[in-house]
Structure 1
Amino acid sequence: MQGTIILKRSDIENLIDMKTAMNLVEQAFRMYAEEQAVMPPKVYLDFPRGDIRAMPAYIKGNVNMAGVKIVNVHPENRLKNLISVRGTTVLIDPDNGVPLSVMDATFLTALRTGAASGVATKYLANKTVKKVAIIGIGGQAQSQLQALLIANPEISEVAVYDKTHESAKTFATKNKALANIRAHSDIKECISGAQVITTLTPSRAPVLTKSMVGNGVHINAIGADAAGKQELETEIITSSAIFVDDWNQASHSGEINVPVEEGEFSKEMLRATLGEVIAGTKKGRNSADEITVFDSTGLAIQDIIVSNYVYKAAIKNHGKYSSIDLLS
């Protein structure tokens, strides 16, 4: 019997691309909305300087794969020249419990998070998108840019902003072959005229206010990943059409967590989950002038479906990748 396949980041980067990831993530959202996936709540284990999160899921049907991702968040790691966010996924055969693969999930986490924004933009943004803005240039920015360009091939301008302007300038220079991209030192100037805004900051105070956001804009709110974090002013949440990947996760640790905790937002005010929009059971955007917000917390079903694809691609090249018998 084949042992447990071990896949490094360098292996994985050659086995999947963003367009494939977007198709897979869209499928996962749909299957979850159609109750073809099981996803227990994310478990947090807090430490003095960070935390780890355990994210299990089982996708039924023609995917038929289970697993769990363990991901850490240690913000101070960058001061020690260590990665702040790092993940590992274990894929489990749901028919017999055998561990099929252990793989790095650091690259895949960024990939599937970008893919989710791309899918949300496809379904929730206005049809004509000429300018997009990315706020916060960290580890997620590259995959977000890739997904936005795939979702909106007619983009003619990409504006980027980071509180460290040199980071934005470096990112713009690095990606000048992909798009007409410009680094801004002023956040208002950056988002001016943008039809899509993606926020990627760890902020605990709003970086966008209602007065800054024009009619018809779609916002992918990615940065909030723990209770107390908030990138968007509460007035944006209460006056826009809000879509989440999962209500329980979003209300606990997503962009809406602060308005929910303060009693300013409730489940009854939610327009839909993204999966419901994809499945056609709930409506997305109502009008061209409506502001839409996708609160992306990152779901285990996204991790399992992209990891399953990578695993299946790897076993087609039997013998190329390392494997181990964990019971030996």
Structure 2
Amino acid sequence: MKTITVGPDEIREAVSMREAIDAMRLGFLDLAAGKFEMPTRTVLGDGQFLVMPAHHQPTASAMVKTLSLNFERKPAITGTVVWSESSRLDHLVADAAAVTTLRTGAAVGVATDLLAAPDAGRLTLIGAGGQAPDQVRAVHAVRPLSRLTVVDTSPQRAEALVNLLAPELPDTELVTTLDAEAAVSDAELVCCATTATSPLFPKSALPTRVHVNAIGAFRPTMRELPDELLADSTVVIDELDAILEESGEIIHALEAGAITEDALTELGTALTAPHSPRGDRTVFKTVGVAMQDWVLAELLARKFLY
């Protein structure tokens, strides 16, 4: 029996964003088909600690992720992802921060590829924290970017992100700003990756045709999107039970009567079933589910254990 430990750099070297997106698409299809045993995550200390298990029935493999979250420190996310398989004695332990940012990006890549206009290329990213680089990489993998506008309350943080990504985006115009409303006004793609507790922009600030990804709000007290946008858009989510328990913007919109549960389509279902668009705006809301971590852990297990 052996236990292999995989650090952040090894994860990055082993799994490309394109590979993660392709695997994540299959994961969402399996989730929709009922192939995962996946309890809603356990939240402790008002979101300071998260425990997320998932069992993939076809492969008899399981993953448990334990996270510590503190957005006042760097890195904000620490923890471990443990992968095991019933037929093997070996285990894999991976850095949870790298897995989390990569798998969240991959889910956004799947949704953007499905929902965004084929020619979309102007991305506005709101929030330049730890999740931000993989948001950009994922969108760029499915919709090559002609322009990236980074919005953050800290100009230094926005510039640091742009400088980090510049070598990966040699043909992309790179812009930073403090003005979220102006930045989304002609965007074709928007990614929200913040810890906001109120909407980042009004619906009126957006163009009539846009795809919005919202990943930051993962507790009922957090919100990134206005009710009016959700009421006027095709809304795709990662998993209904998790969204109803944890997504502040969805909970708020439901309680306000802006939307109903019938307006929410899980991504795995949207990948296979035709859906009727509600206008030209689309939204993908994710709070993150354990299946996504299993997908990355399974990719790493195949590379490091097999």
Provide TM-score, normalisation by structure 2: 0.93
Q: How do 1:7-46 and structure 2 match up within 5 A?
A: 7-46=6-45
- State the 1:99 CA deviation: 6.0
Residue 213 of structure 2 aligns to a residue in which SS?
strand
RMSD between aligned residues: 1.8
CA contact (8 A) 1:200 1:221 kept: yes
Does 1:106 find its partner at 2:97? Answer: yes
CA contact (8 A) 2:186 2:206 kept: no
- State the 1:286 CA deviation: 2.7
- State the 1:297 CA deviation: 1.0
**Which of 56, 64, 69 in structure 2 is aligned with 1:73?**
69
- State the 1:173 CA deviation: 2.6
- Name whichever structure is richer in helix by fraction: 2
Does 1:301 find its partner at 2:291? Answer: yes
CA contact (8 A) 2:82 2:91 kept: yes
Instruction: Show the counterpart of 2:79.
Output: 87
Residue 88 of structure 1 aligns to a residue in which SS?
strand
CA distance in 2, matches of 1:277, 1:136: 27
CA contact (8 A) 1:228 1:258 kept: no
**Which of 199, 202, 215 in structure 2 is aligned with 1:206?**
199
CA distance in 1, matches of 2:206, 2:178: 18
Instruction: Show the counterpart of 2:48.
Output: 51
CA distance in 1, matches of 2:180, 2:206: 11
Instruction: Show the counterpart of 1:322.
Output: none
CA contact (8 A) 1:251 1:260 kept: no
CA distance in 2, matches of 1:281, 1:35: 15
Residue 292 of structure 1 aligns to a residue in which SS?
strand
* Change in CA separation of 1:111 and 1:263 when aligned onto 2, cut-off 3 Å: same
CA distance in 2, matches of 1:176, 1:229: 31
CA distance in 1, matches of 2:62, 2:90: 10
CA distance in 1, matches of 2:107, 2:25: 7
CA distance in 1, matches of 2:93, 2:162: 34
- State the 1:267 CA deviation: 1.1
Instruction: Show the counterpart of 1:320.
Output: none
Does 1:266 find its partner at 2:260? Answer: yes
- Which ranges of structure 2 fall in alignment gaps of 5 or more residues? none
Q: How do 1:1-328 and structure 2 match up within 5 A?
A: 2-46=1-45, 51-61=48-58, 63-76=59-72, 78=73, 82-95=74-87, 98=89, 100-153=91-144, 155-177=145-167, 178=169, 179-254=172-247, 255-270=249-264, 272-278=265-271, 280-283=272-275, 286=277, 289-316=279-306
* Change in CA separation of 1:91 and 1:27 when aligned onto 2, cut-off 3 Å: same
- Which ranges of structure 1 fall in alignment gaps of 5 or more residues? 317-328
State how many pairs are aligned: 302
CA distance in 2, matches of 1:99, 1:277: 36
Post-superposition Cα deviations, 1:160-207, rounded to whole Å, max 9, x if no partner, equal 110112211222233223132111221122112111100011000111
CA contact (8 A) 2:90 2:305 kept: no
- State the 1:95 CA deviation: 4.5
Higher mean C-alpha displacement, 123-132 vs 181-190: 181-190
CA contact (8 A) 2:112 2:211 kept: yes
CA contact (8 A) 2:243 2:250 kept: yes
